[in-house]
Chains A and B, each alone.
Chain A
């Protein structure tokens, strides 16, 4: 920003610093009264002042301040005090409901503090779950969830927990396990099997009657009221009873831990609980079943007359250079196969790699389509496994030239899903460097670092009829926004476009292009000439979920 004069600059700076004297203030006011440019520059300067103040107060949005962990971690700021009178005016009961509410607007904890190193909380990760039923009030754990200290109460089913020390534990419900560190847990009740490689020697499970320390390999533990049983399947463990001396137990032996000491028991029977091989084969079986379900869903979906294009990305949908569009094209039009160029890759997809996925993360990779026709609405729905949001804009589906009616569907680096359609490419842009009349519709930030490497279902709808744009994550609506009259456009187009990148130069004679290649994989992409309802999006998500359990 350039000031009109040095005098103006001095006035504005001194006003903001609070160092202007009365005479100068009078002159400054007179200058403002007659000069609209000066008023605009003052506002710009004060806007920066406000942005700096917000930053320095470490002011995360109010919502952030209300999250339980933030309340403890952050010192009170004056900013939050803005809220105090209102919070007091409302009843405590109402406040209590707010603890639940921010979950609707997930906030990426990462984007706020670029200078800090990313950290997460966890001693272990849920590797597999099999037909779990969780105790009442218990969070349903899924594959990939991190576990910090705390209890897991499983009614039935199996869960495989990989501790970061290297030990793997399979817990069979009904069981109650209390994780205490990366090196151990307390088993309150139930059966478990632990596999402890040499690197994790020293891994311990505590029970009411004593502690089991593993010196490598595998043991089974069954904890019941009054007594626990340890059976060493292979290798060696040390049992430290609450009373009496510790004892080594070797492979093939078993011991009972009782409040009054240890007692050797029969060990020639198979352990009561399931181990790794059981949960693995159960998991594989479930994946086969889910894959079969998805195949059936996909066969039905491709007959949906509203589809513009559908890329299921199953094994039979690929050639070396193309990705087939399997939508019906009942009107006799040709399928809009995607051409794979450069270093576009085919990588393992969902359902334990029974499907394939598209990888266009290299800037020289392209999956290009040509989709003719005019449309009255859009729905884009896809499965993605994002490694990281490494670009400023991370492409999902991008019209080449962004001409009138063409869509751009992408994710911004701060984790907001965004959809836009060029309304009129002949109009003056609203800001310098931009192009034409268009509007970006954002979701709240949905991305969290813990989502990295997990399959997510993303969908966005553009509905000129109802004048609405909506965004969805895993079948749940993130946001819904009105299309203002000024940005209304009824006739939509696609034309030449790319999946997961935006690689074509703006001008034919300019080699420069924006790098928006998605750092991750896409598995299944459907584009509809309609705005699907929230219920339909939910169903799409449910039908394609790789590990629902």
Chain B
């Protein structure tokens, strides 16, 4: 049974936990699904499912671990309904990826990896030339299609994809270097 919705303590606890882990949970879902549209859809279902089942959640256990289990179930359910022509991982690969992602999430949470990476990313984005930074932000804005940007800029979509690949590669190298440097806390 879903928790009583006018039990505000309960609701607040849930909101606090969900808010804290939403980003990580989205990243987890993204690791299994082929597009952001799919992720948005599954995240909505997951949020609702988590709230409905929240009465069963033991507050002494790790929220992220529990939320991943629920999200994983939602991903698989969603996958079964996806059009056959969509390029989506087979269930066995998905299970494999999910197992590993869950284990990884635990380790990275212990090391507060998420927030360190976030800060490294911020710094690395600052270092990008402005045009590149603007492009990557535009390309990642929800609802924006690469093909639309390409049409507006009079460039071929392929050229834009290649530019984005290079930007991501640069960001990744930069982040790795800055995380290595951030030593001895």
Q: How far is the CA of A420 from the CA of B43 in the complex (A)?
A: 34
- The answer to the question of B58 belonging to the interface, with a C-beta cut-off of 8 Å to chain A, is no
| Interface segment out of the listed B16-24, B73-81, B148-156 | B16-24
For this complex, into which size category does the number of interface residues on chain A fall?
35 or more
* A46 and B100 within 8 A (CB): no
**Contact indicator B112/A440 (Cβ below 8 Å):** yes
Chain A residues 36-52 with CB under 8 Å of chain B are 36, 39-40, 42-52
Do B19 and A63 touch (CB < 8 A)? yes
**Contact indicator B140/A55 (Cβ below 8 Å):** yes
B32-54 interface code vs A (CB 8 A; 1 in, 0 out): 00111000100110011001100
Within 8 A of A (CB), among B77-128: 87, 89-90, 92-93, 96-97, 100-101, 104, 110-112, 117-119, 121-122, 125-126
- Least Cβ distance of A479 to chain B in Å? 11
Q: Select from chain A the residue with minimum beta-carbon distance to B183.
A: A433
- A-facing residues in B126-185 (Cβ within 8 Å): 126, 136-143, 146, 161, 164-165, 168, 171-173, 175-176, 179-185
User: Which of A44, A46, A77, A98 contacts B12, CB < 8 Å?
Assistant: A98
Chain A residues, CB < 8 A from B19:
61-63
Quote the shortest CB–CB distance from B112 to chain A (angstroms).
6
> Does B31 have its Cβ within 8 Å of any Cβ on chain A?
yes
Please report the C-alpha to C-alpha distance between residue A97 and residue B8 in the assembled complex, in whole angstroms.
8
Closest chain-B Cβ to A15's Cβ sits at a distance in Å of: 7
Is B182's CB under 8 angstroms from A94's CB? no
A90 to B9, CA, bound (A): 12
B63 in the interface (beta carbon within 8 A): no
Question: In the complex, which residues of chain A have a beta carbon less than 8 angstroms from the beta carbon of B97?
Answer: 32, 39, 42-43
Greatest chain B CB density within 10 A among A25, A47, A420 is at: A47
* Contact partners of A420 in chain B: CB under 8 A: 185
Q: Are A53 and B36 in contact (CB under 8 A)?
A: yes
Chain B residues whose CB sits within 8 angstroms of the CB of A435 once the complex forms: 183-184
- Report if A86-B51 is in contact (Cβ < 8 Å); known contacts: A15-B34, A48-B171: yes
Point out the residue from A1, A13, A40, A89 that lies within 8 Å of B165, measured CB to CB.
A13
Measured in the bound complex, the distance between the Cα atoms of B122 and A114 in whole Å is: 8
- Whether A25 and B100, one on each chain, are in contact in the complex, defined by CB atoms closer than 8 angstroms, is no
A431 at the interface (CB under 8 A from B): yes
Judging by beta carbons under 8 Å apart, are A47 and B93 in contact? no
B47 pairs with A97, CB closer than 8 A: no
Partner of B87, one of A25, A55, A442: A25
Cα(A83)–Cα(B182), bound, Å = 34
Determine if A82 is an interface residue (Cβ-Cβ < 8 Å).
yes
**Residue of B with least CB distance to A13:** B165
Residues of B near A36 (CB, < 8 A) are 100
Selected from A18, A20, A78, A484, the residue in CB contact (under 8 A) with B40 is A78
**In contact, A51 and B182 (Cβ under 8 angstroms):** no
Q: A29, A61, A434: which contacts B22 (Cβ < 8 A)?
A: A61
Q: Is A466 an interface residue, CB under 8 A from the partner?
A: no
Contact between chains at B47 and A85 (CB < 8 Å)? yes
Q: How distant is the Cα of A22 from the Cα of B27 in the complex, in angstroms?
A: 25
Given A47-B117, A82-B44, A89-B51, the answer on whether A29 and B93 have CB atoms closer than 8 Å is yes
**A33 and B93 contact, Cβ closer than 8 Å, known pairs A56-B141, A414-B119:** yes
For B27, the closest partner residue in chain A by CB is: A50
Beyond A39-B96, A57-B141, whether A48 also contacts B112 by CB under 8 A is no
B136 touches which one: A18, A52, A97 (CB < 8 A)?
A: A52
B112 surroundings in chain A (CB, below 8 A): 440, 442
Q: Are B30 and A50 in contact (CB under 8 A)?
A: yes
Decide if A272 is an interface residue (CB 8 Å cutoff): no
Question: Which residues does chain A contribute within 8 Å of B43, judged by CB atoms?
Answer: 82
What are the residues of chain B within 8 A of A50 when measuring CB–CB? 23, 26-27, 30
Residues from chain B with a CB closer than 8 A to the CB of A32 are 89, 93, 96-97
Residues in A neighbouring B168, C-beta threshold 8 A: 13, 16, 45, 48-49, 52
Residues in A with CB closer than 8 Å to B110 are: 430, 439, 484
* Distance to closest chain A CB from B74 (angstroms): 12
Are A53's CB and B140's CB within 8 A?
A: yes
Complex Cα spacing A419 to B139, Å: 39
The reply to whether A49 and B40 form a contact with Cβ atoms under 8 Å apart is no
A446 CB, nearest partner CB in chain B, Å:
15
* Alpha-carbon gap, A114 to B118, bound state (A): 13
Provided the pairs A1-B172, A48-B172 are in contact, do residues A43 and B47 lie with their beta carbons within 8 angstroms?
Answer: no
The answer to whether A57 and B100 touch (CB under 8 A), given A49-B30, A62-B15, is no
In the complex, besides A43-B101, A54-B26, 18 extra interface pairs with C-beta distance below 8 angstroms are A16-B168, A17-B146, A32-B93, A40-B104, A46-B31, A55-B122, A61-B19, A79-B142, A81-B40, A90-B11, A91-B6, A93-B6, A97-B8, A98-B12, A101-B15, A105-B16, A433-B181, A433-B183
Q: Show 21 A/B contacts (Cβ-Cβ < 8 Å), sorted by A.
A: A1-B173, A16-B168, A47-B27, A48-B172, A55-B140, A56-B137, A56-B139, A61-B20, A62-B18, A78-B40, A81-B40, A82-B44, A82-B47, A89-B2, A90-B51, A91-B5, A91-B6, A94-B6, A105-B16, A418-B185, A442-B112
